[in-house]
């Protein structure tokens, strides 16, 4: 469990630094813009690797704090679809950013919230709770820095491209979930 915690500290520590302009500015001033991006990427990857390793090797015997009802496991699939569709919406031209300034972060809130509801063991609470809290903080911090909703209106086909991209990614995640997470969804 300590490897998971170390990974979370590294991953979210560098991401939290990026949400605080004075901290990000001090690091950038010291190592330059490219240096900052490199340091951020390396620490993020190291943290992510430790998170994956630590979560994969979590204690098998763990008394959960809660157990989701049996019907919840299949009923959350539409919510997870929405969470995945919001990921490409952050990077593709669409009207979704006219509704929310932070589609990727909202997608992570949905993903982590659903996983937190379904998994009440301590490692899951740490993992999914960290992603949920960080995403809420990142939206708040971005709004404090003046994040605005998009005002440009794109054709409906732009939205359809986002939905198709998200749906394809969702399909791959659902059918590959057993392979990379050890739990079959279908």
- Give the pLDDT confidence of 84-114 residue by residue, as tens digits: 999 999 999 999 999 999 999 999 999 999 9
Nearest to 114 by CA among 61, 64, 75, 65: 75
When pLDDT is averaged across residues 137-151 and rounded to a whole number, the result is: 92
When pLDDT is averaged across residues 145-164 and rounded to a whole number, the result is: 94
pLDDT, tens digit, 9 for 90 and up, residues 119-140: 999 999 999 999 999 999 999 9
Q: Give the C-alpha separation, 64 to 44, whole Å.
A: 29
pLDDT for the residue 161: 97
Rounded to 5 degrees, φ, ψ at 149 are -70, 150
Work out the mean pLDDT of the chain and round it to a whole number: 93
Residue 48 has pLDDT above 90, yes or no: yes
Instruction: Say what the pTM is.
Output: 0.88
Within the chain, residue ranges assigned H as helices are 2-19, 21-56, 72-75, 77-89, 96-99, 103-118, 122-144, 156-181
Domain boundaries, the chain: 1-57, 63-186
């Amino acid at each position: 469990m300590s490897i998971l915690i170390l990974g979370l500290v590294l991953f979210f520590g560098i991401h939290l630094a990026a949400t605080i302009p004075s901290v990000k500015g001090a690091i950038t001033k010291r190592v330059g813009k490219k240096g900052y991006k490199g340091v951020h990427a390396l620490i993020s990857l190291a943290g992510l690797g430790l998170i994956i390793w630590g979560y994969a090797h979590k204690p098998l015997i763990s008394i959960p704090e809660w157990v989701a009802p049996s019907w919840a496991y299949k009923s959350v699939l539409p919510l997870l679809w929405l969470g995945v569709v919001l990921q490409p919406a952050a990077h593709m031209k669409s009207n979704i950013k006219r509704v929310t300034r932070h589609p990727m972060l909202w997608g992570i809130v949905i993903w982590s919230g659903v996983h937190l509801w379904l998994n009440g063991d301590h490692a899951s609470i740490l993992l999914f709770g960290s992603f949920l809290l960080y995403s809420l903080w990142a939206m708040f911090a971005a709004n404090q820095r003046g994040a605005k909703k998009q005002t440009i209106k794109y054709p409906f086909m732009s939205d359809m491209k986002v939905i198709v991209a998200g749906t394809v990614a969702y399909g791959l995640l659902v059918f590959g979930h057993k392979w990379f997470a050890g739990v079959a969804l279908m």
